[in-house]
Chain A
Amino acid sequence: MSSNKNDVTQSITQVIAASSLGTLIEWYDFYIFGSLAVIIGQQLFPSDAGASALINTLAIFAAGFIVRPFGALVFGRLGDLIGRKYTFLLTLVLMGGSTFLIGLIPSYSSIGYAAPILVLILRLVQGLALGGEYGGAATYVAEHAPVGRRGFFTSWIQTTATMGLFLSLGIIVLTKNLIGAEKFADWGWRIPFLVSILLVGVSIYIRMKMHESPVFTKLKSEGKISANPLKESFQKKANFKMVLLALFGATMGQGVIWYTGQFYAQSFLENTCKLDFNESRYILLWAIVLATPFFVVFGSWSDKVGRKWIMLSGMLLGIIFYRPIYQYFIDATNVKEFQKTELKTATAPEITRELVKGEKDSIITTTSYKTLNSGFTFKESVVKIIPDDVLAPLPEDKTVIADVTLPGKTYVIIILLVFFQVLLVTMVYGPIAAFLVELFPTQIRYTSMSLPYHIGNGVFGGLVPFIATLVASFPGSTPLSGLWYPIGIAALSFIIGAVYIDNRGDRNVMD
């Protein structure tokens, strides 16, 4: 598409490519942290922190999401004042710089608690930058898109978050396979962070060549730019009520569906079902590859039938099917039970003995690798604590299952179930950029759409792994208890969206 006002000669394809590449890289930067939560937890916290290390790392991960709305406010305001192009160039630099620096932070064993504090600060910068990026890219593409095709064109931007996750998982798995698990856990986990600086450099080069949005340029030439977009967005009731509607009726539910399907699923398979590191990531990678085209399918379809019911159907299906799906994950990977009847082979036990840290009690760990008739393989460790005091009662042995790999049929079924969850993501997320862009006028669009998006997606969605893991750790809870958080939020959002949102499609965005 071209504009006479500012000599824009770039085609919509170039606009989408340049916007999407930068956004994809920002998502990549943002998600490496989550994909490496377990390893980063071991690096940033004391070695005996156990489950607390994972939850604290997920809390740092979540901190990046929590500040996203503030980034939306700061950079959204800039975008509505100085333009879309320069604002999201700035966010790209901040994101790339902070990701690179996370890769250089020494571990807890070198600098103590300064390590998690420094990472937290950089994570906050990442969150601020991402908060400014997405709204700019979606607005930029939507303002270039032809009438009646806005859902289709913005859906390409919508693929970037998932593709960023895919890229982060791919680089992590590739690095780990190249250098080996031990080196990866020691220092190799830093490589995906350091690689970011190259990707960001390429994206900055491409974006420098882009023109400003024609709609914004027209507004600027007419002297209609908002003097205070923040005030107009949130102090003017007519705008603020739409911000609230967008948050509670759409982005809140979209956020939890996104992070349950694409983060919690993998985290659950790895931490609850004890799947092997690569196995859980390959499953997600397959699911993403199969489902990603549907972002464009649903985005395009929303141009014809409206945005509302596609998004709400995604939420409803999540509400109905999450618990049965996760119950299947548990039942289908319960090797502790399966081995009672179908144990095929077991390696000779390796026995290690060490002292409990700071005490005189001993820990004896007996490890063996087992294969079942059905094709499962896994590592089983029996941990026995021997008190120094011979008269003290013996604590119960603890059996720890790890590194489970699945037989073909179970593997395929789990891929399909994760694919189904990512499909729901494409339903709620594919049309939402067009939906948000159409809800607000050009003058305050960057600011107004960014805030509900980042509270919904960033805060409600980003907190899914942290809150769900926390809830599942409550005394008396089950592994499925954590799902009540995304189910409850999606249900609330579904009701509000169904009752209060209109199903109108393509609105005028040139105002």
Chain B
Amino acid sequence: MNVLKKILGILWIVLGPVIILFLIMQAIEKVAAAAEGIARTNTTLQWSIIILIFIPICAGLMIFGVYAFKGEYERLPTSSDEL
């Protein structure tokens, strides 16, 4: 299980920036579509809010991945003294 935790750690490190990139690409595409009148509701403001919210969360996912890769979750603390 510990090996799996580390391998998945790499996945979380990669997934963070991938999600951000995906959101930015979606934002560009949908806002452009809205500007052309294809989709009225996909505005710049809405997408800016979504991206702003998810950037720190994705950064958190990357940090989680780093901890997982370094084996920080191999054994979870059993009492507060270990925290």
CB-based nearest A residue for B54: A459
Task: Let me know if A362 is at the binding interface, CB within 8 A.
Answer: no
Task: Let me know if B25 is at the binding interface, CB within 8 A.
Answer: no
Task: Let me know if B50 is at the binding interface, CB within 8 A.
Answer: yes
Rounded to whole Å, the gap between the CB of B57 and the closest CB of chain A is: 7
CB-based nearest A residue for B8: A499
CB-based nearest B residue for A240: B63
Task: Let me know if A474 is at the binding interface, CB within 8 A.
Answer: yes
Q: How far is the CA of A50 from the CA of B1 in the complex (A)?
A: 52
| Chain A interface mostly | helix
CB-based nearest B residue for A50: B40
Per-residue CB contact flags for chain B residues 47-83 toward chain A (1 = under 8 Å, else 0) read 0011001000100110110011000110011111111
Per-residue CB contact flags for chain A residues 211-231 toward chain B (1 = under 8 Å, else 0) read 000000000000000000000
CB-based nearest B residue for A55: B41
Per-residue CB contact flags for chain A residues 434-459 toward chain B (1 = under 8 Å, else 0) read 00000011100000000000010001
Which residues of B5-44 have CB atoms within 8 Å of chain A's CB atoms? Answer: 5, 8, 12, 30, 33, 38-43
Q: How far is the CA of A279 from the CA of B57 in the complex (A)?
A: 37
Given contacts A467-B50, A473-B41, contact A241 B72 (CB under 8 A): yes
Q: Are B67 and A241 in touch, CB under 8 angstroms?
A: yes
B72 proximity list for chain A (CB < 8 A): 237, 241
A147 proximity list for chain B (CB < 8 A): none
Q: Are B46 and A248 in touch, CB under 8 angstroms?
A: no
Q: Are A511 and B79 in touch, CB under 8 angstroms?
A: yes
Q: Add 4 more A-B contacts to A51-B40, A52-B41, A244-B67 (CB < 8 A).
A: A55-B41, A244-B64, A475-B33, A507-B79
Q: How far is the CA of A500 from the CA of B9 in the complex (A)?
A: 10
Task: Let me know if A161 is at the binding interface, CB within 8 A.
Answer: no
Given contacts A455-B57, A499-B8, A511-B81, contact A474 B73 (CB under 8 A): no
B68 proximity list for chain A (CB < 8 A): 500
Task: Let me know if A242 is at the binding interface, CB within 8 A.
Answer: yes
Rounded to whole Å, the gap between the CB of B15 and the closest CB of chain A is: 8
Rounded to whole Å, the gap between the CB of B23 and the closest CB of chain A is: 11
Task: Let me know if A288 is at the binding interface, CB within 8 A.
Answer: no
Rounded to whole Å, the gap between the CB of A99 and the closest CB of chain B is: 23
Q: Are A500 and B83 in touch, CB under 8 angstroms?
A: no
Per-residue CB contact flags for chain A residues 36-71 toward chain B (1 = under 8 Å, else 0) read 000000000000001110010001000000100000
CB-based nearest B residue for A65: B53
B73 proximity list for chain A (CB < 8 A): 241, 245, 500
Rounded to whole Å, the gap between the CB of B13 and the closest CB of chain A is: 13
Q: Are B53 and A474 in touch, CB under 8 angstroms?
A: no
CB-based nearest A residue for B33: A475
Number of A residues contacting the other chain (C-beta, 8 Å)? 37
Q: Are A66 and B40 in touch, CB under 8 angstroms?
A: no
In the A-B complex, the 8 residue pairs with the smallest Cβ-Cβ separation, listed nearest first, are A441-B80, A511-B80, A244-B64, A238-B83, A241-B67, A500-B73, A473-B41, A55-B41
A sample of 13 inter-chain contacts (CB < 8 A) reads: A52-B40, A55-B46, A59-B49, A236-B83, A245-B73, A248-B12, A440-B83, A459-B53, A473-B42, A474-B39, A475-B38, A500-B73, A501-B76
Task: Let me know if A336 is at the binding interface, CB within 8 A.
Answer: no
Q: How far is the CA of A213 from the CA of B61 in the complex (A)?
A: 34
Rounded to whole Å, the gap between the CB of A447 and the closest CB of chain B is: 13
A463 proximity list for chain B (CB < 8 A): 50, 53
Rounded to whole Å, the gap between the CB of A457 and the closest CB of chain B is: 13
B4 proximity list for chain A (CB < 8 A): 499
Q: Are B8 and A495 in touch, CB under 8 angstroms?
A: yes
A110 proximity list for chain B (CB < 8 A): none
Rounded to whole Å, the gap between the CB of A503 and the closest CB of chain B is: 11
CB-based nearest B residue for A509: B80
Q: How far is the CA of A504 from the CA of B78 in the complex (A)?
A: 9
Q: Are A499 and B76 in touch, CB under 8 angstroms?
A: no
Q: How far is the CA of A237 from the CA of B64 in the complex (A)?
A: 11
Q: Are B79 and A499 in touch, CB under 8 angstroms?
A: no
B83 proximity list for chain A (CB < 8 A): 236, 238-239, 242, 440-441
B50 proximity list for chain A (CB < 8 A): 463, 467
CB-based nearest B residue for A488: B19
Q: How far is the CA of A504 from the CA of B79 in the complex (A)?
A: 12
Q: How far is the CA of A211 from the CA of B30 in the complex (A)?
A: 53
A495 proximity list for chain B (CB < 8 A): 8
Rounded to whole Å, the gap between the CB of B25 and the closest CB of chain A is: 13
Q: Are B82 and A244 in touch, CB under 8 angstroms?
A: no
B67 proximity list for chain A (CB < 8 A): 237, 241, 244
Q: Are A459 and B57 in touch, CB under 8 angstroms?
A: yes
Rounded to whole Å, the gap between the CB of B53 and the closest CB of chain A is: 6
Q: Are B8 and A248 in touch, CB under 8 angstroms?
A: no
A361 proximity list for chain B (CB < 8 A): none
Among A244, A442, A473, chain B packs the most CB atoms within 10 A around the CB of A244
B30 proximity list for chain A (CB < 8 A): 474
CB-based nearest B residue for A459: B53
Q: Are A248 and B64 in touch, CB under 8 angstroms?
A: yes
Q: How far is the CA of A239 from the CA of B83 in the complex (A)?
A: 6
Q: Are B1 and A499 in touch, CB under 8 angstroms?
A: yes
Which residues of A457-473 have CB atoms within 8 Å of chain B's CB atoms? Answer: 459, 463, 467, 470, 473
Rounded to whole Å, the gap between the CB of B63 and the closest CB of chain A is: 6
